[in-house]
Amino acid sequence: MAIFGPFTSGYLLVNSVDLSARCKSISVNYQADMLDASAMGDLTKVNLAGLKSWSVSADLVDDMTASGSGSVDATLFPLIGAAAFAVVVRPSTAVLGATNPSFTGNAVLPSYSMGGAHGGLLTKGGITFQCAGALVRTTA
């Protein structure tokens, strides 16, 4: 069994813009709703899988450049409440493969927060891209 670590070069592509170099953290969250199918006579709850959902969470060091690759604010600001756009996450910026799968889907961005402490970095924290379609895992 290969252990992946340390996690130092995650890949985040948002609406065709590579934000990897600005990431402090990235998480892919994937789940299925659990439907309670329990009925009279059951002594244990019976769960059935329902609809799946996913999200991608990220914390980014902010960048206020007007445009270009890696421009955090110029990339995210127009996406708030906009039509769905592509999000791609990989464990590493290395080439896609069996040990570096890609998680891709269309998402929407309902909000983001910007801020920082005195003397610290300006960040976009707690960003959550919410699903607007299926999440696809690929290795080739």
Q: Could you read off the pLDDT of 74-93 as tens digits, one per residue? A: 999 999 999 999 999 999 99
Coil, helix or strand for 31? strand
| Four-residue CA torsion sign, 80, 81, 83, 85 | positive
Per-residue pLDDT at 116 exceeds 80:
yes
Per-residue pLDDT at 73 exceeds 80:
yes
Segments making up each domain of the chain, as ranges: 11-138
CATH number of the 11-138 domain: 2.30.110
Q: Which pLDDT score is estimated for 125?
A: 87
Q: Which pLDDT score is estimated for 27?
A: 96
Per-residue pLDDT at 32 exceeds 90:
yes
- What is the torsion angle, in degrees rounded to the nearest 10, for the CA atoms of residue 56, residue 57, residue 61 and residue 67? 30
